[in-house]
Amino acid sequence: GAVVSQHPSWVICKSGTSVKIECRSLDFQATTMFWYRQFPKQSLMLMATSNEGSKATYEQGVEKDKFLINHASLTLSTLTVTSAHPEDSSFYICSLKREKGRLFGPGTRLTVL
Amino acid sequence: KQEVTQIPAALSVPEGENLVLNCSFTDSAIYNLQWFRQDPGKGLTSLLLIQSSQREQTSGRLNASLDKSSGRSTLYIAASQPGDSATYLCAVPYSGGGADGLTFGKGTHLIIQP
């Protein structure tokens, strides 16, 4: 069955730097991928919908210039957190939609010092 | 705006017990509901997907029911085992707007004591 991978699984960076997170769909071509964020002891919140070959759709309150999304192929979507700050520290998870429900990646733990 | 509530927030029981986890949603215009399991620091594993036309789904010791009219779903875990310890999340597709993501509950943190 289809598998979703993320890289890196965790990253620690200094405040002000940019971090890129990759989400890959293995054995499944995904025209749409979703990016979620999960703060400690909170549930997942949808940040944006990534569309292959077009601009991403961002949820209210999510800054598109801060969280850059690129979906250049049917198997890869990237989320770049620009000028990261400590409040951006979170667990970022990507997901894709299939007929049999949603698949989620293993997540990326971002810690901004 | 869709809101999903899960009760209880946490549950700790001895192994072998049968459990019921509850999920309620405010907008009944959903086309499916999905239950997930999340282990600490990990991504989500899909457990069961119930289409709006279905009333329940079963997978092994898990059984999920859906009552759209009342905005409720339950996840039944039979003969619980320590390996079932995890956070269980229910989610429904967004209602309204242009997004097609999921709205999640905060989850039920389950601990099965050996």
Segment A37-52, tens digit of pLDDT? 999 888 899 999 988 8
Cβ contacts of A91 on chain B, cutoff 8 Å: 41
Tell me the C-alpha distance between B107 and B97, whole Å.
Answer: 24
Mutation for testing the B interface, residue in A4, A43, A94, A98 having most B CBs under 10 Å: A43
Beta strands in chain A (DSSP E): 3-7, 10-13, 19-26, 32-38, 44-51, 57-58, 67-73, 76-81, 90-98, 101-104, 108-112
Q: How high is the pLDDT of residue A99?
A: 76
For B105, which of A43, A49, A109 is closest by C-beta distance?
Answer: A43
Residue A86, φ and ψ in degrees, nearest 5: -55, -35
B41/A91 Cβ within 8 A? yes
What token pair was written down for B29? 């215009």
**What pLDDT is recorded for position B96?**
55
Name the band, by pLDDT with cuts 50, 70 and 90, for residue B99.
low
- Show residues of chain B in contact with A59, CB under 8 Å: 99, 101
Categorize the per-residue pLDDT at B20 as very low, low, confident or very high, splitting at 50, 70 and 90: very high
Task: Indicate whether B71 pLDDT > 90.
Answer: yes
pLDDT tens profile A76-102: 999 999 999 999 999 999 999 887 778
Angle at B6 between CA A60 and CA B54, to 5 degrees: 95
> Per-residue pLDDT for B98 more than 60?
no
- Work out the mean pLDDT of chain A and round it to a whole number: 92
Task: Closest CB to B102: pick one of A46, A91, A109.
Answer: A46
User: Rounded to an integer, what distance in angstroms lies between the CA atom of residue A55 and that of residue A75?
Assistant: 16
Sequence-separated (6 or more) residues with CB below 8 Å from residue A17 = A83, A84
pLDDT of residue B100: 75
B31-37 mean pLDDT: 94
The token pair at B92 is 């429904």
Higher pLDDT, A1 or B3: B3
Tell me the chain A residues in contact with residue B91 when contact means C-beta distances shorter than 8 Å.
44, 102
Residue B23 has pLDDT above 80, yes or no: yes
